[in-house]
Amino acid sequence: MTPDTWISVIVFVVGGVFGLIVFLQIVYPLFSLVPKVRKILREEEREKSILLSLLFFSPVVWTTVLLFSILLVVRYFPAYWKPYLLGLGTVLVFVLFFVERRNEEAEDEMITRVKDRMRLTKSDSSSKKPPWEGDL
Protein backbone atom coordinates (compact mmCIF):
# COMPACT_ATOMS: atom_id res chain seq x y z
CA MET A 1 0.00 0.00 0.00
CA THR A 2 1.21 3.45 -0.79
CA PRO A 3 1.60 6.13 1.89
CA ASP A 4 -1.27 8.05 0.32
CA THR A 5 -3.57 5.05 0.89
CA TRP A 6 -2.50 4.79 4.53
CA ILE A 7 -3.17 8.46 5.07
CA SER A 8 -6.62 8.04 3.49
CA VAL A 9 -7.37 5.16 5.85
CA ILE A 10 -6.21 7.23 8.84
CA VAL A 11 -8.36 10.19 7.70
CA PHE A 12 -11.34 7.84 7.31
CA VAL A 13 -10.85 6.54 10.87
CA VAL A 14 -10.40 10.07 12.25
CA GLY A 15 -13.57 11.18 10.45
CA GLY A 16 -15.41 8.18 11.86
CA VAL A 17 -14.31 8.75 15.44
CA PHE A 18 -14.99 12.48 15.24
CA GLY A 19 -18.32 11.79 13.56
CA LEU A 20 -19.30 9.35 16.29
CA ILE A 21 -18.69 11.95 18.97
CA VAL A 22 -20.39 14.76 17.08
CA PHE A 23 -23.39 12.86 15.74
CA LEU A 24 -24.17 11.38 19.14
CA GLN A 25 -24.21 14.90 20.58
CA ILE A 26 -26.48 16.10 17.77
CA VAL A 27 -28.81 13.18 17.08
CA TYR A 28 -29.38 11.79 20.57
CA PRO A 29 -30.96 14.90 22.12
CA LEU A 30 -33.07 15.65 19.06
CA PHE A 31 -34.49 12.21 18.37
CA SER A 32 -34.65 10.41 21.67
CA LEU A 33 -35.18 13.14 24.27
CA VAL A 34 -37.79 15.21 22.44
CA PRO A 35 -40.72 12.95 23.51
CA LYS A 36 -39.61 13.12 27.15
CA VAL A 37 -39.23 16.89 26.99
CA ARG A 38 -42.69 17.20 25.44
CA LYS A 39 -44.06 15.33 28.43
CA ILE A 40 -42.37 17.76 30.82
CA LEU A 41 -43.59 20.72 28.79
CA ARG A 42 -47.16 19.54 29.18
CA GLU A 43 -46.66 19.40 32.95
CA GLU A 44 -44.66 22.65 33.29
CA GLU A 45 -45.77 25.03 30.53
CA ARG A 46 -44.10 28.15 31.93
CA GLU A 47 -40.60 26.59 31.84
CA LYS A 48 -40.60 26.19 28.06
CA SER A 49 -37.61 28.47 27.37
CA ILE A 50 -35.33 26.60 29.78
CA LEU A 51 -36.16 23.22 28.27
CA LEU A 52 -35.82 24.37 24.69
CA SER A 53 -32.47 26.00 25.37
CA LEU A 54 -31.18 22.88 27.12
CA LEU A 55 -32.43 20.63 24.33
CA PHE A 56 -31.22 22.63 21.32
CA PHE A 57 -28.06 24.34 22.56
CA SER A 58 -25.82 21.27 22.35
CA PRO A 59 -26.89 20.19 18.83
CA VAL A 60 -26.42 23.72 17.49
CA VAL A 61 -22.91 23.98 18.96
CA TRP A 62 -21.88 20.53 17.74
CA THR A 63 -23.31 21.16 14.27
CA THR A 64 -21.19 24.30 14.09
CA VAL A 65 -18.10 22.33 15.14
CA LEU A 66 -18.87 19.67 12.53
CA LEU A 67 -19.30 22.18 9.73
CA PHE A 68 -16.10 23.95 10.77
CA SER A 69 -14.16 20.66 10.72
CA ILE A 70 -15.47 19.86 7.23
CA LEU A 71 -14.47 23.34 6.07
CA LEU A 72 -10.96 22.86 7.49
CA VAL A 73 -10.49 19.49 5.82
CA VAL A 74 -11.79 20.69 2.45
CA ARG A 75 -9.70 23.86 2.55
CA TYR A 76 -6.39 22.63 3.96
CA PHE A 77 -6.40 18.93 3.01
CA PRO A 78 -8.24 18.83 -0.33
CA ALA A 79 -6.82 15.44 -1.27
CA TYR A 80 -8.43 13.80 1.79
CA TRP A 81 -11.89 15.34 2.00
CA LYS A 82 -13.57 12.30 0.42
CA PRO A 83 -12.31 9.77 3.01
CA TYR A 84 -13.17 12.23 5.79
CA LEU A 85 -16.73 12.67 4.56
CA LEU A 86 -17.03 8.92 3.95
CA GLY A 87 -16.04 8.31 7.58
CA LEU A 88 -18.55 10.90 8.78
CA GLY A 89 -21.29 9.46 6.58
CA THR A 90 -20.65 5.89 7.69
CA VAL A 91 -20.91 6.87 11.32
CA LEU A 92 -24.03 8.96 10.67
CA VAL A 93 -25.81 5.93 9.24
CA PHE A 94 -24.64 3.86 12.22
CA VAL A 95 -25.84 6.47 14.74
CA LEU A 96 -29.23 6.94 13.05
CA PHE A 97 -29.71 3.18 12.90
CA PHE A 98 -28.98 2.65 16.59
CA VAL A 99 -30.59 5.79 18.02
CA GLU A 100 -33.67 3.73 18.84
CA ARG A 101 -31.58 1.67 21.24
CA ARG A 102 -31.26 4.53 23.66
CA ASN A 103 -29.97 4.39 27.19
CA GLU A 104 -32.95 4.70 29.52
CA GLU A 105 -30.77 5.59 32.52
CA ALA A 106 -29.23 8.53 30.69
CA GLU A 107 -32.68 9.79 29.68
CA ASP A 108 -34.00 9.49 33.21
CA GLU A 109 -30.93 11.30 34.56
CA MET A 110 -31.43 14.12 32.06
CA ILE A 111 -35.11 14.44 32.98
CA THR A 112 -34.20 14.54 36.68
CA ARG A 113 -31.63 17.28 36.06
CA VAL A 114 -34.11 19.34 34.05
CA LYS A 115 -36.78 19.03 36.74
CA ASP A 116 -34.24 19.97 39.44
CA ARG A 117 -33.19 23.00 37.44
CA MET A 118 -36.81 24.01 36.99
CA ARG A 119 -37.35 23.75 40.76
CA LEU A 120 -34.26 25.89 41.37
CA THR A 121 -35.48 28.60 39.03
CA LYS A 122 -38.87 28.63 40.74
CA SER A 123 -37.30 28.98 44.18
CA ASP A 124 -34.88 31.64 42.92
CA SER A 125 -37.69 33.75 41.54
CA SER A 126 -39.75 33.46 44.72
CA SER A 127 -36.97 34.47 47.13
CA LYS A 128 -34.49 37.29 46.92
CA LYS A 129 -31.60 35.28 48.42
CA PRO A 130 -28.71 34.29 46.17
CA PRO A 131 -28.60 30.54 45.48
CA TRP A 132 -25.37 30.08 47.45
CA GLU A 133 -27.04 31.32 50.65
CA GLY A 134 -29.15 28.33 51.46
CA ASP A 135 -31.00 27.53 54.64
CA LEU A 136 -28.47 26.25 57.16
- pLDDT attached to residue 86: 94
Average pLDDT on 41-46 reads 68
Give the separation between CA 91 and CA 16, rounded to whole angstroms.
6
**Single-letter residue type at 105:** E
- pLDDT attached to residue 84: 94
Tens digits of residue pLDDT in 101-120:
665 666 677 777 777 777 76
Say whether pLDDT at 93 is over 70. yes
Domain boundaries, the chain: 13-108
Rounded (10°) angle between helices 34-43 and 48-76: 160
**Single-letter residue type at 120:** L
Give the separation between CA 133 and CA 127, rounded to whole angstroms.
11
Question: How does DSSP assign 30-57, residue by residue?
Answer: HHHSHHHHHHHHHH-GGGHHHHHHHHHH
- pLDDT attached to residue 123: 60
Say whether pLDDT at 37 is over 60. yes
Tens digits of residue pLDDT in 49-77:
767 776 788 888 999 999 999 999 999 99
Please name the residues in contact with 69: beta carbons below 8 A apart, sequence gap of 6 or more.
18, 22
How confident is the prediction for the chain on average, in pLDDT?
79
- pLDDT attached to residue 85: 94
- pLDDT attached to residue 121: 65
- pLDDT attached to residue 10: 93
Specify the DSSP class assigned to residue 133. Answer: S
